[in-house]
Homo-oligomer: A and B are copies of this chain.
Amino acid sequence: MSTAGKVIKCKAAVMWEANKPFSIEEIEVAPPKAHEVRIKIVATGICRSDDHVITGGLVMPFPIILGHEAAGIVESVGQGVTSIKPGDKVIPLFVPQCGECNSCLNTKSNLCSKNDIGSSAGVMPDGTTRFTCKGKAIHHFIGTSTFTEYTVVHESAVAKIDSAAPLEKVCLIGCGFSTGYGAAVQTAKVEPGSTCAIFGLGGVGLSVVMGCKAAGASRIIAVDINSDKFAKAKELGATDCVNPKDFKKPVHEVLIEMTGHGVDYSFEVIGCTETMTAALACCQYNYGVSVIVGVPPAAQKITFDPMLLFTGRTWKGSVFGGWKSKDSVPKLVADYMKKKFVLEPLITHTLPFTKINEGFDLLRTGKSIRSVLVL
């Protein structure tokens, strides 16, 4: 029986306020308006950025449906939607691609102005929400909201993918994998034979390791204060693993000594201002490139000696791996299908959706890399 055009009642994990557990609720999901798409979510990953909203590190309005890394099947489309149809396998895009704005028109950029990352409005582009629960309007999260059986996104924020793709794996292409892999191959454009250092070996950091390896780096130094993370980093291509706690001297000095003069490329994949500065300082002082990938807590500033930059270093940031989302996500899925890269090592836990709080506990205690929730 078709649900098209009707409100759908379904299960969702609602975050009613900060620093609380998720509440599994029955919610109502309105049908998609013009240029919108309603998606049945099949699998969704747990990402540290979702947790930052809960703890206040990333400021968003409550109550909210979190989750932004997912894959699903289109249930229905609103008026005027031509690029997608019911039954299509899709990945929602927290960085959209409208194709018309300044960023979309520039070949080098990918931060479409229709994103809701900076504005944190928590609504659809028309200013309203499609979710209600117990009579209250529930906010969207950066144009996605995937901790729910059904979600509604704008057409510019969803990409059609290969119908053979296993959704419980490729959901990671919606955020973690693409963000890290792209930081290396797309933003930094790591060159063959070069040396790389990666600070932070979570799902995104390990994806950076994969990207550096795919790009042909000769030395990939993985840095984390949790030595449990090293085995997987080595499996994915790290040549050296360094725990800053094992050294008296600052870690950037350790890295400069290890390489003689600093690395060609460094990546900060944690979101901590001290490691951002260490990552900058550990790259070669004149031609080194340092990329910030991790989301820093709101209102915290980085303080550093400007001479670090003056000598010639390049410091850049990267959102979603620098990829233009709607163009790139289908290609990344196709590459996965051709086995150009693997996702399985990143998925340490697969849980039913109702165990979402357990999934977040695993993240917070450093026991998981990516937990995928299956709906």
B-binding residues in A (CB < 8 A):
102-103, 106, 108-111, 113, 118, 260-261, 273, 276, 284-287, 292, 295-296, 299-319, 322
Given contacts A109-B287, A286-B103, A304-B302, contact A313 B316 (CB under 8 A): yes
Residue ID in chain B nearest A109 by CB atoms: B287
B111 touches A311 (CB 8 A): yes
Asked whether, in the complex, the Cβ of A303 is within 8 Å of the Cβ of B306, the reply is: no
A314 near B315 (CB under 8 angstroms)? yes
Asked whether, in the complex, the Cβ of B310 is within 8 Å of the Cβ of A302, the reply is no
Q: Looking at the complex, which one of B273, B308, B316 makes contact with A314 (CB distance below 8 Å)?
A: B316
Closest residue of B by beta carbon distance from A320: B312
For residue A292, which residues in chain B have a CB less than 8 angstroms away from its CB?
306, 309-310
Q: How many copies does the complex hold?
A: 2
B301/A303 in contact, CB under 8 A: yes
List chain B residues, Cβ under 8 A from A310: 292, 295-296, 317-319
Q: How far is it, in angstroms, between the C-alpha of A197 and the C-alpha of B312 when the chains are bound? A: 20
Q: Is there an interface contact between A312 and B111, defined as CB atoms closer than 8 Å? A: yes
Closest residue of chain B to A307, judged by CB? B296
How far in angstroms is the closest Cβ of chain B from A104? 10
A236 to B311 alpha-carbon distance, docked (Å): 27
In the complex, are the beta carbons of A285 and B315 less than 8 A apart?
Answer: no
Q: A303 and B303: CB pair below 8 A?
A: yes
Contact of A316 among B103, B307, B312 (CB under 8 A): B312
- Is A317 touching B309 in the complex (CB atoms < 8 A)? yes
Of all chain B residues, which has the CB nearest A273?
Answer: B306
CA distance A109 to B287 in the complex (A): 5
Cβ contact within 8 Å between B301 and A305? yes
A312 with B302, Cβ < 8 A, contacts A109-B287, A296-B307 known: no
A287 interface neighbour in B103, B286, B300, Cβ under 8 Å: B103
Chain B residue with minimal CB distance to A117? B311
Q: Which residues of B contact A295 (CB under 8 A)?
A: 310
Least CB distance, A68 to chain B, in whole angstroms? 16
Given contacts A103-B284, A300-B306, A311-B317, 4 further A-B contacts (CB under 8 A): A292-B310, A302-B306, A303-B303, A312-B318
Q: Which residues of B have CB within 8 Å of A302? A: 303-304, 306
How many angstroms from the CA of A348 to the CA of B311 in the assembled complex? 29
